[in-house]
């Protein structure tokens, strides 16, 4: 009887999925190794924790549903009363304000994920398509990214793109590269050796070159 078998049996017993044979096997195991009772009690507590927390975690990640039209005015009134009118002459504040502005032009993000190697730093690549997606030059740009990175996902919300940029993607070293056609730049951010790094590379006519530069910059940070 190994730990994995005990764990699997315990899980099935706790959620009442076990067959009669599995239940009998589990009972016999506990009878022969009473010290496992404490471990079983701990797993039961863990499952209660999971059942309590997971619904809320899942709800936090919900993406379906639209804000009712009638609520917008009420909420904007709250914003004006609480925060006042924005200062339109200055553009300081959170660095992600640029993304919120771009969102008005319908942003679609194409995300590519490259796992260089499980034991090496992670590089993720994204594209912010302010032209609304797959047409014209943007199609070529998406194709260019897809040709270089095997896994591609899409987002359609600028706030989420900024959240993605800021969310660590790995416990260890990682880099996030995002191409922003509207700003004509490739931004790189990440962490290497416990230190954060960031840079911006202007894209003139050569996107492939800018992407190369971004990848090289990231690898330099990783010391490769």
Partner 1 sequence: MQRGDSAAWDEAFAWLWPTVFAVARLRLQPFLPDEIEDVAIESLEALVEKVRGVKTVEELKPLAASIAHHRAVSLLRERFAQKRGEGKTESLDATTEDGDPKHDPASPDSPLDALEEKELAERLQKSLGALKPPLGDVLSDFFLHGLRYEEIARKHGIAVGSVGVYLKRGLETLRRIWGGRDDS
| Residue ranges that bind partner 1, judged by CB under 8 A | 4, 7-8, 11-12, 15, 17, 43, 45-68, 71-72, 74-76, 78-80, 82-87, 93-94, 96-97, 100-101, 103-104, 157-160, 162-163, 166-168
**Bridge partners for 46 per DSSP:** none
Closest CB to partner 1 among residues 17, 119: 17
Strands 174-180 and 185-192: antiparallel
Residue with Cβ nearer partner 1 (119 or 136): 119
Backbone angles phi, psi at 196, to 5 degrees: -80, 150
Smallest gap from residue 96 Cβ to partner 1 (A): 5
For residue 177, the minimal CB distance to partner 1 (Å) is: 18
Nearer to partner 1, 35 or 66 (CB): 66
Nearest CB to partner 1, comparing residues 17 and 204: 17
Positive/negative CA dihedral, 9, 14, 17, 19: positive
Q: Give min distance, CB of 201 to partner 1, in A.
A: 22
Question: Cβ closer to partner 1: 40 or 211?
Answer: 40
Q: Give the nearest distance from C-beta 140 to partner 1 in angstroms.
A: 28
Whole-number minimum distance, CB 75 to partner 1, in Å?
Answer: 5
CA torsion angle 99 100 104 106 (round to 10): 50
Q: Are 183 and 210 in contact (CB under 8 A)?
A: no
Q: How far is the CB of 207 from partner 1 (least distance, A)?
A: 26
Q: CB burial class (10 A; 0-12, 13-18, 19+) of residue 121? A: buried
For residues 47 and 134, which CB has a smaller minimum distance to partner 1 in the complex?
A: 47
- Across 136-161, b (16+ Cβ under 10 Å) vs e yields eebeebbeebeeebeeeeebeebebb
Q: What is the DSSP letter of 186?
A: E
């Amino acid at each position: 009887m190994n730990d994995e078998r005990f764990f699997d049996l315990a899980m099935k017993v706790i959620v009442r999925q076990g067959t009669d044979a599995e239940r009998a096997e589990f009972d016999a195991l506990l009878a022969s190794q009473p010290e496992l009772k404490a471990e079983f009690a701990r797993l039961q507590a863990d499952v209660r924790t999971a059942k309590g927390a997971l619904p809320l975690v899942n709800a936090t990640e919900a993406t379906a549903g639209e804000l009712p039209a009638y609520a917008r005015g009420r909420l904007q009134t709250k914003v004006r009363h609480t925060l006042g009118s924005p200062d339109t002459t200055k553009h300081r504040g959170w660095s992600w304000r640029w993304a919120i502005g771009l969102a008005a032009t319908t942003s679609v993000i194409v995300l590519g994920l490259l796992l260089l190697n499980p034991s090496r730093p992670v590089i993720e690549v994204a594209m912010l398509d302010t032209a609304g997606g797959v047409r014209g030059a943007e199609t070529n740009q998406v194709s260019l990214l897809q040709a270089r990175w095997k896994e591609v996902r899409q987002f359609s919300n600028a706030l989420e793109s900024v959240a993605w940029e800021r969310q660590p993607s790995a416990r260890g070293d990682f880099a996030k590269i995002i191409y922003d056609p509207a700003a004509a730049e490739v931004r790189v951010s990440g962490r290497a050796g416990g230190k954060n790094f960031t840079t911006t590379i202007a894209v003139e006519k050569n996107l492939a070159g800018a992407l190369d530069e971004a990848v090289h910059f990231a690898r330099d940070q990783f010391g490769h």
